[in-house]
């Protein structure tokens, strides 16, 4: 999961806390998986793209919405730089 993020990305982990950097994001998701947390695919909305930035979002079955900002990398791939998943699901 952490490979989807730029090395310096930030992830909103809820309660005003941020995971800063790919290693912290990896640790956050590792704890969720270890706790047995499941991830819903949801309804991914079309990306809004402006040059090398994209806003992505997903509406989940419970009605909550995620929001992510991705940046196009030199090789053409996209990596998230800011991620606000559906925090209520993690708290």
Residue range 2-89, CATH number: 3.10.450.50
Instruction: Show me where the domains of the chain are located.
Output: 2-89
The answer to whether 39 touches 64, Cβ cutoff 8 Å, is no
Which of 65, 67, 82, 66 has the alpha carbon at shortest distance from 21?
A: 82
Across 17-21, average pLDDT: 96
Structure tokens at 63: 């009605």
Q: What is the pLDDT of residues 20-62, one digit of tens each?
A: 999 999 999 999 999 998 877 899 999 999 999 999 999 988 8
Read off the pTM: 0.86
- The CA–CA distances, whole Å, from 90 to 3, 7, 39, 48, 50 equal 20, 22, 10, 26, 30
**β-strand 43-44 against 48-50: which pairing, if any?**
unpaired
Model confidence at 88: pLDDT above 60: no
């Amino acid at each position: 999961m952490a490979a989807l993020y730029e090395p310096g990305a930030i992830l909103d982990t809820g309660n005003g806390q941020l995971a800063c950097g790919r290693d912290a994001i990896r640790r956050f998701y590792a704890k969720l998986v270890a706790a047995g947390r499941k991830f819903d695919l949801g309804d991914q909305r079309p990306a809004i793209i402006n040059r090398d930035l994209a806003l992505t979002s997903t509406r989940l079955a419970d009605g909550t919405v995620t929001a992510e900002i991705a940046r196009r990398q030199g090789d053409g791939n996209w990596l998230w730089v800011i991620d606000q998943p559906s925090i209520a699901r993690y708290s």
